[in-house]
């Protein structure tokens, strides 16, 4: 679908589920529902609906659905020392990856030079950790750490890669991310594998699913009693 076709499909399906008895929405309101639906679709595919399995990579269809948003980028000159996280910590700015359009982090690999064991400029996958454990991995004169796999801490704006006592250099990184989709607009062209503001960002095979989510939320917004009854019945059937 193009952006205009998504709006038209929304109107058709919204009229159908309301039996033409509900007032229509303005284009700006429809776009709000469509963009909220696109965000919901991506979140559900990435983490599972209500954070229940299957999630991303647990199901091949989910991988295919989100494939247009996946990106892998090598950072060759944007890795900088960050002593705020210990003497062997490094920072990669999110703004340096995919023009800052990072939605979710899928993985980080760091190019490490170290001893014990000896590694010379080889990529090693980083281990994500909770911020509450950061202090345990700070390399300092009083804390001689040993962990072959660099630890990874994510903040709003950066990835922090923490090496151990035997790490002498981390100079490059490979970042795998899910990119933030561009907002759906009325003038968006059909998806053509181009990740850009002028094109739909997801494959046409999922566009109707996004419209259906938008219609569902629009119906909820009007507080229609028939919708509430339908939702209650669906919940009973699910349980």
Mean pLDDT of 195-220: 96
Q: Are 151 and 161 in contact (CB under 8 A)?
A: yes
In DSSP notation, the chain reads --HHHHHHHHHHHHHHHTTT-S----HHHHHHHHHHHHHHHHHHHHH-GGG-SS-BTTBHHHHHHHGGGEEEEEESS-EEE-TBTBTTEEEEEGGGSGGG-EEEEEEEEEEEEETTTTEEEEEEE-EE--GGGGGGG--BTTB----SSPEEEE-SSEEEEE--TTEEEEEEEEEEEEEPPPPP-TTPBPP-S--STTB-SS-GGGHHHHHHHHHHHHHHHTT-HHHHHHHHHHHHHH-
Residue 177 has a pLDDT of 97
pLDDT classification of 235: cutoffs 50, 70, 90 = very low
Q: What is the pLDDT of residue 224?
A: 53
- Give the model's pLDDT for residue 97: 97
Q: Which two tokens stand for residue 41?
A: 């679709």
Measured between its terminal Cα atoms, the distance across the chain in Å is: 35
Mean pLDDT of 54-70: 88
In this prediction, residues 186-200 reach a mean pLDDT of: 96
Within 8 A by CB and 6+ apart from 9, the residues are: 1, 207, 208, 211
In the predicted structure, residue 173 carries a pLDDT above the cut 90? yes
pLDDT digits (tens, 9 = 90+) for 86-135: 999 999 999 999 999 999 999 999 999 999 999 999 999 999 998 888 88
Taking alpha carbons only, the member of 215, 231, 176 closest to residue 41 is: 215
Instruction: Give percent above pLDDT 70 in the chain.
Output: 93
pTM of the model: 0.85
Looking at residue 36, its pLDDT comes to: 98
Neighbours of 123 (CB within 10 A): 14
Mean pLDDT of the chain: 91
Distance of CA 4 to the CA centre of its chain: 25
Look at residue 135 in the predicted model and tell me its pLDDT: 86
Q: Dihedral of CA 195/198/201/206: which sign?
A: negative
Q: Please report the pLDDT score of residue 158 as a whole number.
A: 97
Q: What pLDDT, on a 0 to 100 scale, did the predictor assign at position 230?
A: 52
pLDDT value at 207 more than 70: yes
Name the residue with tokens 């095979």: 205
Distances (CA, A) of 236 to 73, 207, 229, 230, 232: 46, 28, 11, 10, 6
Sheet order of strands, 79-81 included: 79-81, 89-93, 158-162, 151-154, 127-128
Is the model more confident about 175 or about 227? 175
Q: Identify the band that residue 237 occupies on the pLDDT scale cut at 50, 70 and 90.
A: low
Residue range 138-169, pLDDT digits in tens? 888 888 999 999 999 999 999 999 999 999 99
Q: Which two tokens stand for residue 113?
A: 């030079």
Query: What percent of the chain is modeled with pLDDT above 90?
Result: 74
Residue ranges of domains in the chain: 3-55+182-238, 70-179
> pLDDT of 15-46, one tens digit each?
988 888 777 899 999 999 999 999 999 999 99
27: how many CB neighbours lie within 10 A of its CB?
Answer: 14
In this prediction, residues 176-191 reach a mean pLDDT of 97
């Amino acid at each position: 679908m193009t952006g205009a076709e998504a709006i038209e499909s929304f109107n058709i399906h919204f009229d159908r589920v309301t039996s033409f008895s509900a007032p229509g929405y303005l284009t700006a309101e429809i776009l709000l529902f469509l963009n909220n639906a696109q965000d919901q679709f991506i979140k559900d595919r990435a983490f599972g609906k209500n954070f229940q399995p299957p999630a991303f990579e647990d199901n091949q269809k989910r991988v295919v659905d989100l494939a247009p948003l996946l990106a892998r980028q090598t950072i060759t000159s944007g890795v900088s020392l960050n002593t705020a996280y210990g003497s062997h910590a490094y920072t990669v700015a999110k703004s340096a990856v995919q023009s800052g359009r990072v939605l979710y982090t899928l993985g980080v690999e760091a190019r490490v030079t170290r001893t014990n064991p000896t590694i010379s400029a080889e990529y090693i996958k980083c281990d994500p950790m909770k911020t509450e454990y950061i202090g345990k991995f700070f390399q300092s004169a009083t804390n001689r750490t040993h962990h072959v796999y660099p630890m990874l801490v994510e903040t709003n704006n950066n990835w922090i890669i923490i090496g151990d006592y035997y790490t002498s250099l981390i100079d490059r990184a490979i970042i795998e991310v899910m990119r933030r989709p561009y907002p759906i607009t009325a003038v968006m062209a059909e998806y053509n594998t181009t990740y850009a503001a002028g094109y739909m960002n997801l494959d046409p095979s999922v566009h109707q699913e996004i419209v259906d989510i938008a219609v569902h939320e629009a119906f909820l917004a009007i507080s229609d009693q028939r919708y509430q009854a339908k939702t209650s019945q669906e919940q009973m059937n699910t349980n």
